[in-house]
Amino acid sequence: MDPIRHLRFSLFILIAVMGAGTAGYAVIEDWSFFDALYMTVITLATVGYGEVHRLSEEGKAFTILLILFGAGIIAYAVGSLIQFTVEGHLLGILGRKKVEKQIRKLKGHYIICGYGRIGHLICREFHNRPLPFVVVEREPDLCQKIEAEGFLHVRGDATDDEVLMAAGIERARGLVTVVTSDTENVYITLTARGLNPELFILARSGEEGSEKKLKRAGANKVISPYTIGANRMAQAILRPSVMDFIEIATAGRNLELQLEEIRVDAASALVGKSLVASGIRRDLGIIIVGIKKGDGQMVFNPASDVEIAASDILITLGQPAAIRNLEEIALVEPVDTV
């Protein structure tokens, strides 16, 4: 039995016996409620206090039965409480309350549904970034692994509205559903879209034909790990040098080259400047591979005279330190000079 349910059951039995004892004395001896309750408590506690009033023969018989049954129930309840405390369940509840408080403070975070092999890798990448995220998982063993990693999580079924609400879906920026079942991914997508119409949803597709269903359910983007994996394995044979370059550019912890996307803030000094005037290539040594405009149009290998606008997303290629410098320029409001 679950330790919390075990403790609740034992306390319920204890209260029921106290109620029965109080009612018994009130009926048999015609005592007041308080006198009957007091007699029940001192009898169950076996403290040895004297009787409230003289007992009749029926009252003495009732007291014997109350002692026989009550002593065992008190021992059972105390044992349950000690077990609950010693085994750390109380600390676990307090820790869970702390996690829930941290989740309630999150805003603009991501929700990852499923902590399997793919979910674990996504969490690790988000943690290294770092990006705020909450994991939703229903398997107890996987929840223990999430706790060991120190990630915020909610235990439950991601298709349940209350579980997603507990993960802060109304404040979230995006949701990634990577459970093993395509059917569950569809249900999770439907639930999430209903709770937050503006949410960006990325869904995993495992079977052929699931992509259309997931998009109809409300997913913004659908990815099949098997298709991507097969394609990369084929390209590793057909274009090994290209794949080596991609590995270098996309590895999150390399020191040579990094492929990154940077959104230009409206207050950035880059807004209104052309690529050549911005000095991104000249001063930082960064190559602009492409620009995703605000209307979703992707401009590949943009010309030097292309003007940078607010909310443009720059697809950049360069050294990590230079990328960080460009992020500061693109995201931080410039200081006005007089």
Residue 126, pLDDT above cutoff 90: yes
Asked if residue 129 belongs to a domain, the reply is yes
Asked if residue 183 belongs to a domain, the reply is yes
pLDDT at 51: 77
User: In this structure, what CATH number is given to the domain that contains residue 75?
Assistant: 1.10.287.70
Write a three-state SS string for the chain.
CCHHHHHHHHHHHHHHHHHHHHHHHHHHCCCCHHHHHHHHHHHHHCCCCCCCCCCCHHHHHHHHHHHHHHHHHHHHHHHHHHHHHHCCHHHHHHHHHHHHHHHHHCCCCEEEECCCHHHHHHHHHHHHCCCCEEEEECCHHHHHHHHHHCCCEEECCCCCHHHHHHCCHHHCCEEEECCCCHHHHHHHHHHHHHHCCCCEEEEECCCCCHHHHHHHHCCCEEECHHHHHHHHHHHHHHCHHHHHHHHHHHCCCCCCCEEEEEECCCCCCCCCCEHHHHCHHHHHCCEEEEEECCCCCEEECCCCCCECCCCCEEEEEECHHHHHHHHHHHHCCCCCCC
Do 120 and 73 lie in a common domain? no
Q: What is the rounded CA–CA span in Å between residue 248 and residue 228?
A: 18
Q: Which residue has the higher pLDDT, 130 or 91?
A: 130
Q: Which residue has the higher pLDDT, 5 or 119?
A: 119
Domain boundary among 86, 120, 135: 86
Do 127 and 182 lie in a common domain? yes
Domain of residue 17 covers 3-86
Asked if residue 115 belongs to a domain, the reply is yes
Do 124 and 219 lie in a common domain? yes
Q: In what order do the strands lie in the sheet with 287-292?
A: 258-263, 313-318, 287-292, 298-300
Confidence of residue 337 (pLDDT cuts 50, 70, 90): very low
Confidence of residue 83 (pLDDT cuts 50, 70, 90): low
What is the average pLDDT across 305-315?
93
Bridge partners of residue 273, in order along the sequence: none
Residue 156, pLDDT above cutoff 90: yes
Do 131 and 44 lie in a common domain? no
pLDDT at 332: 54
Q: Which residue has the higher pLDDT, 275 or 74?
A: 275
Domain boundary among 54, 86, 118: 86
Do 283 and 327 lie in a common domain? yes
Residue 227, pLDDT above cutoff 70: yes
pLDDT at 235: 86
User: In this structure, what CATH number is given to the domain that contains residue 198?
Assistant: 3.40.50.720
Mean pLDDT across the chain: 85
Domain boundary among 209, 228, 247: 228
Q: What is the rounded CA–CA span in Å between residue 56 and residue 58?
A: 5
Residue 112, pLDDT above cutoff 90: yes
The structural domain count of the chain equals 3
pLDDT at 335: 38
User: In this structure, what CATH number is given to the domain that contains residue 318?
Assistant: 3.30.70.1450
Share of the chain above pLDDT 70, in %: 88
Asked if residue 336 belongs to a domain, the reply is no
Do 261 and 217 lie in a common domain? no
pLDDT at 93: 57
Do 185 and 269 lie in a common domain? no
Do 214 and 120 lie in a common domain? yes
pLDDT tens profile 170-190: 999 999 999 989 999 999 999
Do 8 and 82 lie in a common domain? yes
Q: What is the rounded CA–CA span in Å between residue 154 and residue 134?
A: 7
Asked if residue 295 belongs to a domain, the reply is yes
pLDDT tens profile 8-51: 787 888 888 889 889 998 999 989 999 889 888 888 877 767 77
Do 219 and 288 lie in a common domain? no
pLDDT at 85: 62
